[in-house]
Amino acid sequence: MSHKAAPRRPVLSLLGAALAALYLAAFGAGYVIYIHLQNIGQWLPDLTLLLIALPFTWTMNALTNGAFSMTGDETGKVITAALFCCALAYLAGAIVEWILRRLWRLATSR
């Protein structure tokens, strides 16, 4: 007797997508601020981007034993940081949404 597993739906999270979109908008705004200050390579224009990219810079500092640095003029690092942070925001939103859905099922199943 063969038991067929129920088809699994893809993991899509509206909350995760919204949080990732907000994070991407924050990166866009930070980069616009960086461009408008026009003191490329100095700490003040880089500050906005560095604060937005904290999860990425902390992770990279941990992986490189503190040897990681990032400035706004390093476009590759900025794009990588944006992708990393957006993925992290999506994952956090998906986990929160999953917990809320489980709690909703428990509350309405009685």
Over residues 83-107, the pLDDT tens digits come to: 999 999 999 999 999 999 999 999 9
pLDDT of 74: 87
Query: Quick count: other Cβ atoms within 10 Å of Cβ 60?
Result: 19
38: which 2 tokens?
A: 């026009």
pTM flag (> 0.85): no
Query: Quick count: other Cβ atoms within 10 Å of Cβ 88?
Result: 16
CB-based contacts of 56, cutoff 8 Å, min separation 6:
70, 80, 81, 84, 85
What is the tens place of the pLDDT at every residue in 12-38?
A: 899 999 999 999 999 999 888 888 876
Percent of the chain scored above 90 by pLDDT? 56
Alpha helices in the chain (DSSP H): 14-37, 43-52, 54-63, 75-108
Give the model's confidence band at 4: pLDDT under 50 very low, under 70 low, under 90 confident, else very high.
low
